[in-house]
Structure formats: structure tokens, C-alpha cells
Amino acid sequence: MSTVRSQLQITIGFRFLPTKEEILCHYLKPIIKGDPTPAGVMMFYGANREPWNIFDQDWAESFWIITKLKKRSKSRIERTAGDGCWLQQYVKEVEHKDSGEVIGLDKYFTFTSKKSKKSNGQWIMHEYSLKDQEAASAGLSDSVICKIKNKDATVVSSDYKESEGEIKKNKKRKLMDVPPDSTNDVAIVPEENQTFDYMAAEVGGFSPSPPFSACLKPATKPLDVGRC
């Protein structure tokens, strides 16, 4: 299988390190409106997996995904992946750096697994969404961008290396081969015309995750971060 770098023509040393404001203004809003973004290369990525199976041993990296929340009711959203679920820990407002206006929310989650309890809390996720009023008026209230990473790759890696069966299973469904000098952050955005069910909501809710697409193209010029 070709590497992510060769498939997406990623420049060596490239890092995807956007601010919260850039994620909301220059990625989430344009993507859900169908407008161009600074990173526009897409490829089909994966399916319903626990965090460590998305990363497939490359746990030092972090991944960005864009997805649509799946609601069980008007007030409940399901959040599951593989044999576990994402538990919300806190919510913070994201403000525009110049005006101080609230432009979105940053929700923090930790992953809890039924089978791999030693890893509980090691995988974390930040979920970024537009502020309710703006998102609702544009019909975008269910669309979010998430950053998933491992807090302590050494601990989790040691835990899973003890299970040879799990390693073999992971290798069979390996998603991508990322060389050591590749990017530390992988941006994931939806493929054109692809429907997503991935994210889910209240603690204890369960539903399958969807496929993803990868977006890993550096901007050709510095971002002009104006007001959303």
C-alpha cells in the first residue's frame, strides 16, 4: 500500500497545526458549505474503529476528522466507536482573537473501552462546533470537526503490545503506512457526497461510526484569519 505522503503529495516536514479559530473559520464552515479550504486533497480513509485502530500503532500522531453528529432525539446524541464510547469531560467557548466574539465551542472527551480498560482515558478528543445560533441558521448544527490523539503513547503502546492477537488483527486491517518523517497531524475531511454517522452524544449512547476521508494538503499561502 502506498504511503499517505505519496498518495497526497505531502511535503516532508509538513505539520497540520491550525488554531481553534482557524479550524472553525477556515475548515469547518467552508467544508460544510461546500467551499474551498486551505487543505483540499481528499482520500477515502476508514470505518468503525477504536482510536488505536484508526492510528494503527502510529500513536504519536494526532488525527483531525470532520463528521456529522447522529442524534437519537432532539436532546440526545450517540457517541461510540468500536467497543467503547467517547465521554464528555468539559466544554469551552472559542473566541475570535480580535473581537472577542464567541464563534464556537471546544468540547473535550476521553475514550472508554469495554474490552481494553487499561487504556481508558489515554485517548482524548476535542470536538469543535460553530456557535448554536449561526450553525442553526445555516442548517449546520450537526456538523463538527474533531481532533483525536493519545495522551501517553508509551503506556497505551505497551498495553496493546502484550496482546499478539490484537496486533495481528490490527495489521490485517492496516489503514495507512506513515513513514517516521511524515506528518504528526492528519486532517480528515469527508469525501464528496459521503454521508456520516460517526459522532454520537450522551454518555452510554451507542451507534456505529462511519467511513472517513483524509485531507493532508498544506496551504499554498499563509492563512488570512479574519472574522468568520
> Which of 3.30.70.260, 2.170.150.80, 3.90.1150.10, 3.40.1000.10 would CATH assign to domain 4-215?
2.170.150.80
Per-residue pLDDT of the chain (228 residues; tens, 9 = 90+): 344 444 455 566 666 778 999 989 888 888 777 787 776 533 333 345 555 555 555 555 677 777 777 777 777 777 777 778 888 999 999 999 999 999 999 999 998 887 777 777 778 989 999 987 566 656 556 788 888 888 775 434 334 443 445 444 444 443 333 333 333 333 443 333 333 333 333 333 322 233 333 333 333 333 333 445
d(CA 151, CA 143): 25
Q: How far apart are CA 83 and CA 116, in angstroms?
A: 9
Q: What is the pLDDT of residue 105?
A: 93
Alpha-carbon distance of 127 to 145, in angstroms, equals: 6
Rg over alpha carbons for the chain, rounded to the nearest Å, is 17
Closest CA to 48 of 174, 211, 213: 211
First and final CA of the chain: distance in angstroms? 39
How many angstroms separate the Cα of 13 from the Cα of each of 24, 58, 128, 179, 181? 24, 16, 26, 11, 7
Backbone angles phi, psi at 5, to 5 degrees: -60, -45
